[in-house]
Amino acid sequence: MLYHVLAVGDVVGESGLAHLRRHLRSLKQWKDITFTVVNGENVSGVGLTADQAEDIFSAGADVITLGNHTFNRPQIAELLEESPYLLRPANYTSRAPGRGYGVYDCGRVQIAVMNLIGRCDLDFHADNPFTVADGLLRGERPTFTLVDFHAEATSEKLAMGYYLDGRVSALWGTHTHVPTADEQVLDKGTGYITDLGMTGPVRSVLGIRPEQSIELFLGGLPGRYQVAPGACKLQGAVFTLDSDTGLCTAVERIDLR
């Protein structure tokens, strides 16, 4: 039997969150989605509050993943400990609150979600994501396993895709906020895309006001990042998964404006 899983790229700012609230449930109905994973680490610009997390769940997300801005809003720590549906990278130090892996009962199928952070140009003293993934994949397997790999380097994301090919159902990249055109089913059956893109302002530099980003590259002091105004987009991908094999049959990019 085929199931459709939706992965939504990093939600940026309150405007991105409002766009998600407006469109996620209708998108899920349109694409016959069984399970939805949303990366929420940029709703506060940098970080996520508990109230914003609840808004993402209310919009229709089943699981929220995070990344390098997980603890920019330290008040999220309590919710990370309490909620099995809010994940931070599994390869963070064991002293960090929360979890990076969960298994969720969806009736006829069980779906695992793994959240990892890359180490190329992201210096968070994280453990090796490749070996952490190996450890999490030991033991009994659920029907499907999904991986949000929050990483800077496309090479690291691609390497992880090939490393886990055939061992996970789908792997997508987040963090760089620009969608890639390499959606595919890898040779051993894992659905893959290097980056989902983002859910936030269309006319922006990764969600931020362009003039702020320009000032930074000119050597100035841009100050606290401000989310750009204007119309938003919702970007992500739909993975079609086969419950008989636990693997992927198709990947479709999403760009909803």
pLDDT in the model for residue 125: 80
Q: What is the pLDDT of residue 127?
A: 95
Q: Whole-angstrom Cα distance, residue 132 to residue 90?
A: 7
**Which pLDDT does position 94 carry in this prediction?**
83
Predicted TM-score (pTM) of the model is 0.97
What pLDDT, on the 0 to 100 scale, is given for residue 90?
A: 97
CB neighbour list of residue 61: distance below 8 Å, 6 or more residues apart: 8, 24, 36, 37, 38, 40
> What is the per-residue pLDDT for 4?
98
Domain ranges of the chain: 2-256
- 106-154, pLDDT tens digit by residue? 999 999 999 999 999 876 689 999 999 999 999 889 999 999 999 999 9
Residue range 2-256 forms a domain whose CATH class is alpha beta
Phi and psi of 43, rounded to 5°?
Answer: -65, -35
Checking if the pLDDT of 221 tops 90, the result is: no
Is pLDDT above 90 for 245? yes
Active site residues: 69
At residue 223 the predicted structure's pLDDT band, cuts being 50, 70 and 90, is confident
What the block records as the tokens of 71 is 């603890």
